[in-house]
Every structure is written in C-alpha cells, then in structure tokens.
Amino acid sequence: MLGKTRKVAGVEVLVLEEKVLANDELVEQALDFFAQHRDSTVYYFGELVDNYDNGKIVDHDGSWLAGKNGAEPGIIMPAEPVVGQTFNQENAPGVAQDQSRVLALDENVKTPAGKFRGCAKFEDTNPLDPQSTAEFKWYCPDVGLVRDEDAEGFIELVSYTIRGAGASATSERISDVDVSQSDDGSGDGDD
C-alpha cells in the first residue's frame, strides 16, 4: 500500500501500486483501489494501468474504475468466505471481469516468509480470455496474500511485518480519480 487514498465512485479507497517486471524490465505499472466495508468484505474499485514496451507507455489496456462506463466494484475478499462460493472480482463489462471461487479454507502454506495455517485458497479465472488458465491464490489470517500461482509460475511472500493491535496507520490523500475513459473503458488515452 502507498499509504494514500482517493475517492472512486464516491467511496474513499486505499491505493496499492503494483509493478510487473519481465526480465528485469517494467511491463506494467498499476494503481489498484480497495475499500473494506464495515462487515469486513474487501471491495475492488478498479485499476489505472500503464502498459510498457521498451520503457515507454504503449497503452492503458485493463484500466477500469467503478462508477465509469457501467463498471461496479468487485469483491476481492468476502467477509466470511464459504467453500464453493463464487464472486466477481472485477465488474467492468468487456474490459475486466475476473471471477473467483473459494476452494478451501484451512490450507497450510509454506513460503520463504514462514509457515501459515488456516489459509483460504481461491481459483481466479478470466471469462474474457478463453485461452487463459486458472490462477490460484492463498490468503492467510493476519497476513493476506502469501502465494499466487498460475501456468507461468508463482509469486510468494518473502517477508512481512505485523502491526501491533495498538498501532495506527497513517495515510496521505491524493487527488480524486477523474479520468475520461474511452468508449470501450480501456483507459484514458493520455500518456
């Protein structure tokens, strides 16, 4: 998390910056927007994506925001997941419609960061891309995502810090989201 917030669709959301590298070269940089409801459900309000080729932004494919072009918030983590439960993570018609299914709730996972018990395992799919394969994610209590695995390989947690119960988080507000997306919702078209 960047420790920053924005308003998306009238809701104050936390901003997560995500970078994807291939052969040590930046291929994608995104700002993801999340909010947690009072019932503990974590919602996904969209992402602003910059896709790179040879160090230059080439497009914004995959960008979407709740409240724009018919998009609505998706669910990243239900408050009380149930094995077999399915839900939409992304609700941007024709742009991003990833879905998730709860496979297990009591998995044990070992990563370089440690051993974790009582983890939830999810299967994520992309119905917009019939050629894509399933992606599997493990979320563990008090930590979050510890492993993400797909046909190309995996990413796993190597270190983390747990904040004490009395600790407080600080945040910095950055400007509200106000982008003009193209008719297909694929991005703002500005570099």
Per-residue pLDDT tens digits for 12-69? 999 998 888 888 899 999 999 999 999 999 999 999 999 999 999 999 999 999 999 9
Given a contact cutoff of 8 angstroms between Cβ atoms, the answer to whether 99 and 146 are in contact is no
The answer to whether residue 137 sits within a structural domain is yes
With a cut of 50, say whether residue 168 has pLDDT above it: no
Selection from 26, 25, 95, 110 nearest residue 65 by Cα: 95
With a cut of 50, say whether residue 178 has pLDDT above it: no
Domain that holds residue 79: 4-173
pTM of the shown model: 0.79
Per-residue pLDDT band for 163 (boundaries 50, 70, 90) equals low
The answer to whether residue 185 sits within a structural domain is no
- State the average pLDDT over residues 159-167: 62
The answer to whether residue 183 sits within a structural domain is no
- State the average pLDDT over residues 183-187: 36
Counting the structural domains of the chain, the total is: 1
Per-residue pLDDT band for 158 (boundaries 50, 70, 90) equals confident
Bigger pLDDT: 184 vs 26:
26
pLDDT at 3: 73
pLDDT at 38: 95
pLDDT at 32: 94
Selection from 182, 74, 188 nearest residue 127 by Cα: 74
- State the average pLDDT over residues 153-175: 60
The answer to whether residue 41 sits within a structural domain is yes
With a cut of 60, say whether residue 141 has pLDDT above it: yes
Residues 108-128: tens digit of each pLDDT = 999 999 999 999 999 999 999
Cα distances (angstroms) measured from residue 102 to each of 60, 72, 119, 122: 30, 21, 11, 5
Q: Who's near 48: CB < 8 A, 6+ residues apart?
A: 30, 31, 60, 63, 65, 177, 179, 187, 188
pLDDT at 52: 97
CB hemisphere CA count around 151 (13 angstroms): 6
The answer to whether residue 129 sits within a structural domain is yes
The answer to whether residue 189 sits within a structural domain is no
The answer to whether residue 179 sits within a structural domain is no
Rounded Cα distance between 158 and 7, Å, is: 31
The answer to whether residue 116 sits within a structural domain is yes
